Structure 1
Amino acid sequence: MHVRPADLSGVDARAVGVLVGAYLRQTEQEKADRGLADPIGPDDPLPPRYAAEADDPALAFAGDEVLLAVDDERPVGVVVSRAVPEGTEIKRLWVDPGHRGRRIADALLSAVVDGAPGDVRLSVWEWRAPALAVYRRLGFADVPSWDARPGLLCLVRSAV
């Protein structure tokens, strides 16, 4: 497995769209299970505010850094980050469920952290215990929320 920049103008756009789409569908289902969103079926379109990320990642992530984890030439994970005034913000992180438990998320996060010029921040739903464990193990610490949505935790990994 290795991590590399995604080519959103070419062959990687579809893979990024599929991976991000799976992340968004799971997130919407988890939010619906908790009464925070309307349920969507597997064949229903994503909410308009998210659809472009899956349908046209090149446009949705223009100016962002998009990295793919590739195993045996198959994309199995993605991370999207962007520069913000506070440093770098991780916007999306997803590893295909069939490839979890192999520290692929660690590799994706490390690639962002290692390349970031300052602090790295992210937000995560409080019910995502496995993701929270990974973030905390890699040095991310809880901070006061910058997002008012209930159930969303904010974490920062300070620059060394």
Structure 2
Amino acid sequence: MTDQPEVVIVRWPGQGPASTRPAELLAAYHLRTQAEKGAAVVDVDALPDRYRTEIRDPRAAFADDTVLIALSGDTAVGCVVLTAPADGRSEIKRLWTDPAFRGRGIASALIGAALAHAAGNGVGTVRLSVWEWRTDAIALYERLGFTVAESWETRDRLFCMERTV
């Protein structure tokens, strides 16, 4: 028996505790990514504008997209964004699990929920881009059926991957 609450995946906004917001998770994601790029910043105010916008007003930033939150009890411990379908494709963005909750299958559950949502909305292909140094994430995506695809990204060091839903 464990004293760890079960982790559930909910759609945001609209499900889960009223206080559940992706802003804190998005802030952690962007701050960590900036540091990994070698451009660490001390706080959200120093992030590029587009990232600050997501953190300050995720409802507006992702108005057309699907945001899924992993909850442990009333605590948000992970998130993922699935972009609105376009030409039969959606893209996974901003996958993040709180480091204190890693190793529990949360990222896999978030991706699984995103894939199920995409399939339920007629999406044929889900794609994503991932920084080349995130080898654990790349391995996870490969285990979940994603394969390397021709790049649609202009930024160096990003792998592009996709899978049929």
Which one of the candidate residues 117, 125, 129 is aligned to 1:119?
125
Structure 1 portions without partners, runs of 5+: 33-37
Which runs of structure 2 are paired with 1:108-147 in the superposition (5 Å)? 108-116=110-118, 117-147=123-153
Q: Is the 8 A contact 2:66 2:81 kept in 1?
A: yes
Contact 2:31–2:44 (Cα < 8 Å) also in 1: no
Verify: 1:70 aligned to 2:76, yes or no.
no
Any idea what the Cα deviations from partners look like across 1:74-117, whole Å, max 9, x if unmatched? 11000101123241111211000000000100000000111212
- The equivalent of 2:3 in structure 1 is none
- The answer to whether the 8 Å contact 1:13/1:58 transfers is no
Matched, 1:84 2:86: yes
TM-score, normalised relative to structure 2? 0.86
After TM superposition, the runs of 4+ consecutive aligned structure 1 residues lying more than 6 A away are none
| Number of equivalenced pairs | 154
Tell me the residue number matched to 1:35. Answer: none
Return 5+ residue gaps in structure 2 as ranges: 1-6
Matches within 5 A, 1:26-45: 26-32=32-38, 38-42=39-43, 44-45=45-46
Q: CA RMSD in A?
A: 2.0
CA contact (8 A) 1:13 1:57 kept: no
Question: How much does 1:43 deviate?
Answer: 6.3
Q: 1:40 to 1:14 in 2, by over 3 A?
A: farther
When structure 1 is superposed on structure 2, of 12-21 and 84-93 the one drifting more is 12-21
Q: What is the percent sequence identity of the aligned residues?
A: 43
**Partners of 1:81 and 1:89 within 8 A in 2:** yes
Rounded Cα–Cα distance in structure 2 between residues aligned with 1:12 and 1:95: 20
Residues in 2 aligned to 1:43 and 1:156: alpha-carbon distance in whole angstroms: 30
Give the TM-score taking structure 1 as reference length.
Answer: 0.88
Amino acid at match of 2:40: P
Deviation at 1:14, TM superposition (A): 6.1
